[in-house]
Amino acid sequence: MTNEKTTTVALPDGATLDMAAGSTPLDVASRIGSGLARAALAAEVDGQPYDLGRPLERDSQLRILTSRDPEALGIFRHSTAHLMAQAVQRLWPETKVTIGPVIADGFYYDFDRDPPFTPEDFEAIEAEMAKIAKENLEITREVVSRDEAVALFRELDEPYKIEIIEDLPTDETLTLYRQGEWIDLCRGPHVPATGKLGTFRLLSTAGAYWRGDERNKMLTRIYGTAFFDKAELEQHLERIEAAKTRDHRRLGRELDLFSFHPNAPASPYFHPKGAWIYNRLQSFMRELFATEWPHDEIITPQIYDVELWHRSGHYDNYREHMYFTTADDREMAVKPMNCPASTFVYASRKRSFRDLPIRYTDFGRLHRYEKSGVISGLLRVRTFVQDDAHIFCTPDQIQAEVTSLLGLVEFVLGDVFGFEIAVELSTRPDVYIGTDEVWDRAETVLEQALVDNEREFTISAGEGAFYGPKIDFQATDALGRQWQLATIQLDFNLPERFDLHYTASDGSEERPVVIHRTILGSIERFLGVLIEHYGGAFPTWLAPEQVRIIPVSDQFNDYAESVAAHLRRHEIRVHVDDRREGVGYKVRDAEIQKIPYMVIVGERELGIGHVSVRSHVEGELGSMEIDHFARRIMEEGATPRPGAAS
């Protein structure tokens, strides 16, 4: 019970403490023990992050956060972003500050400075950061009025902060965080003093438009990271270096897979090898949709009257990402998604409950306007194809369909491509279409399907699509990075908006439910992820060139060609390297190109009708009879199937 004298604090172990009114989490930590007080970085009060020095306002559930708590790392990194900004303004006082959030594996801060920052500035900034950390400046929270905040930042000549304040709701509580002479507008919380910081590294710079709008000024974004432990930081930096060697943009050039040109921004040109892999991924999915997970493929138009997009809700909720044109005095839009188109195929004839479920897959090309500040190789492009599908079913069929799709995701992403998979249930966003009742029902159905299928999952609040909740699948690659790939989305709104029906068993007209799903997602993005996951060394079934034959001299070219012809009869993708270069040069080139197998042929191989085989993964395999080698490649090159995935 709270009164003028005490505040009751409930601790994680069930114990309670009566603290004097106005006590802080740090006071509570000190009451528990001096060791905890020294280790404390922040607190969690009634489930929300909280500063150690902020007075408790009521009876509360409280947890002290130390470096052992995952929640503390984000606070630690956010405070390090402030440390970086303070260092920057000490060194270059004319610099204007904007925002500095925490991101996956680190933080960034956007600065307005001319000339922009470069990595050559990092040494000076890091040295100043270390100096400020050594000063052990207290970090304090201040609640201010809107007018006070605007006046302060006007005096400091920080126009970006004033713009942020002016765009906040009038009833928003404004807080400032001060450390020494430096102050920032921030919700917090932060560690109690700069002396708690110190294990950090600045990583890179990038251009970033203010608020992501290319009509605004270009700022300099400095990326950094921080860890509690120096060893963890060093391990992270090693992973970054490993990632650089696997960067799909670099490998795309080196392996001659794709390129970009300014004449088609954020739209890739796929070269022959890249196009082969791209088409192989599509054909692999098509084969699954023709067999184990039956779907019917449809082909739909690219451009539609905008009336369709008004009706679907995309015009109101997605138009900033769409391309528009005019034809026959009508405003038209290029499709950014396939979903509305599938409804017209469904509605082209009368449907009965006996017809359902109907599963339409559509590999139609999509176009979305992505701002230049977010495009990144194949990972964020403006034109792409998805392995998209829309399943029309009765409410009673939802669980069976979701169960089947869960199996499809696990087979493709887990068994075939070797990703570890985590599952998220993404719920209603701030902006959505449809009624709360429909959303509640959809979220309940998806959650129950996951529970019934004994799938572990987390809730990602507010991350659903504007038309329905979804199950998202986070795939962890070979470097431990997570990528959101597959998704299963439940939609009760599309059938309503497009007036879809089926005849129920009692003769009544009912609305179907639509399940949107992709497994690979964007083929372009998936290929970018896959290049980095494999480091460019594709498995034999997906490699555009499976075997490279290297004759030791020109006199063995004919034998090399005969071996190649034999392998091609077994549909093995093979190339003879008959360039007038040394064998060592050709072997190194095959390794750089990450060809799964290279075959050396010379006098000994010709004499016994064998080939000398080297695997990119296993190294030297020795001499093999040609048919034996062909069988090996055929087995490894077979399309993965359930129960026999590679």
Question: What single-letter amino acid sits at 31?
Answer: R
Does the bond joining 357 to the residue before it have cis omega, within 30 degrees of 0? yes
Catalytic residue status for 368: yes
CA–CA dist 93, 190 (Å, integer): 23
CA–CA dist 266, 383 (Å, integer): 8
Q: Which of 77, 201, 516, 586 is catalytic?
A: 516
How many C-beta atoms lie closer than 10 Å to residue 134's C-beta?
Answer: 11
Catalytic residue status for 63: no
Using CA of residue 249, residue 254, residue 257, residue 261, what is the dihedral sign?
positive
Catalytic residue status for 388: yes
CA–CA dist 138, 52 (Å, integer): 11
Q: Which of 367, 390, 533, 610 is catalytic?
A: 390
Q: Which of 89, 314, 339, 382 is catalytic?
A: 339
Contact at 8 Å (CB) between 547 and 597? yes
SS3 16: strand
Contact at 8 Å (CB) between 546 and 596? yes
Question: Token match 């090399």: residue?
Answer: 560
Catalytic residue status for 516: yes
Q: Which of 112, 387, 388, 577 is catalytic?
A: 388
CA–CA dist 509, 487 (Å, integer): 30
Q: Which of 196, 368, 517, 533 is catalytic?
A: 368
Of 363, 365, 384, the closest CA to residue 303 belongs to 365
Cα dist. 554→156, 567, 583, 625 in Å? 76, 20, 11, 22
How many C-beta atoms lie closer than 10 Å to residue 443's C-beta?
Answer: 20
Catalytic residue status for 186: no
Q: Which of 470, 548, 610, 616 is catalytic?
A: 470
Contact at 8 Å (CB) between 365 and 299? no
CA–CA dist 451, 445 (Å, integer): 10
Q: Which of 86, 89, 179, 386 is catalytic?
A: 386
Which amino acids are annotated catalytic? Answer: 339, 368, 386, 388, 390, 470, 516
